Amino acid sequence: MAGVAGGELAAEVCKAGGLGFVGAGHLGLDNLESEVEKGRTALGLDAGAELPFGVGLILWRLEQPHLDPSSAASTSDGFLSYIVRSKARAVWFAFSPDLESWVRRFREIERDIAAKKGQRRRVAVFIMVQTEEMALKAKDWAGVDVIIAQGKASTLAHFLSTSFLAGTDAGGHGPSLDAGKPLFTLLSRLAPHFPSASPPFLLAAGGLSSPALVSHALTIGAAACVSGTSLQVAKESLLPQKQKDLVVRTEGGQATERGLTWDRARGTVGWPDWVNGRAIKNLTSEEVLETPEAQSARYKQAVDEGDVDRVVTWAGMSAALPLFPGLDSTHPNNEHPRDSRSLTLSALVAGTGVGFVNAIRPAREIVADLASEL
């Protein structure tokens, strides 16, 4: 989650038995380094120690023409090299029309650094896709450990163990309404192609903000689940307090909508053609101003003032994942020893799952709640 998943949240997720992620977001490498060090400190790790958490990248912003050429720290290789040198447990690649090239380049950099410094631990590569076709192609790529299938809104009702009807949709950025499939449909089609005993492992993402939804996704065939709105309001997240309060008091998916309005207002417009964002409706999404420049100026003012009636609150991603073989999250600060029901977590932005989030709590409590029906 850009601007939400910082080092402290990633650390707390690890302590709860999971695999946390620090989101690089739209900021520079110096900001990423700062958050990673906060996570290291929160876990009591020495400089140079292997990290139990990963780093997530929004790839389009590291591609031309969006890459800022004025700073060496903004180069794509700079980010990739840092992730390897930091000894992060994993890297999460998302939102690029050429994910395979990113995976290949990352493995090249990893090999080069290993040859020079003798660094041996292999970084686990997670990639997030939005369609069945993308997932099946990625399954055959060299160097991929985990494929995250991100679903879209569903009109299909699913009876779950709590006897309610629910469809799911990814909050934050994910497949637009005319792309991809509903999450549970996508999982059902992909699961036969991903045996759980060997990589790449199949993960589920999109509106998984309740224990019943997590349990159902695993039953269908996901090796693990990604959920975001839940951890977005964790005490340790970077989301401003006013926005956490907004997520908590928002009653359901009908209070959110998908589109690119917020991205146009804030100038983050490099998303792939099949991607847009789901957020809580506000004045930015409802008002029609005279010009794009006026919209951008009004939005910038809202950011400066902390005005949640205009600033985007993505209603989305974080994670509760059952531990799968080959990606061990064991760490001395892990308070939940491994067993067949142990958890791996990814901290990633509120979808239709927003209605299940009703309190601001420590991350470890949220993790335990999401796992309560496993």
The whole-model pTM stands at 0.82
* Range picked from 92-96, 149-153, 230-234, 257-261 for highest mean pLDDT: 92-96
Q: Using one digit for the tens of pLDDT, what is the confidence trace for 48-101?
A: 899 999 999 999 988 877 766 554 444 789 999 999 999 999 999 999 999 999
Of residues 7, 311, 344, 350, the one with CA closest to residue 171: 350
Stretch 22-43: mean pLDDT, rounded? Answer: 93
Q: CATH for 7-254+315-370?
A: 3.20.20.70
Alpha carbon distances (Å) from 130 to 145, 274, 275: 17, 8, 8
Q: What band does 347 get if pLDDT is binned at 50, 70 and 90?
A: very low
Query: Which sequence spans correspond to the domains of the chain?
Result: 7-254+315-370
215 — phi, psi (to 5°)? -60, -40
Tokens 């140079």 locate to 48
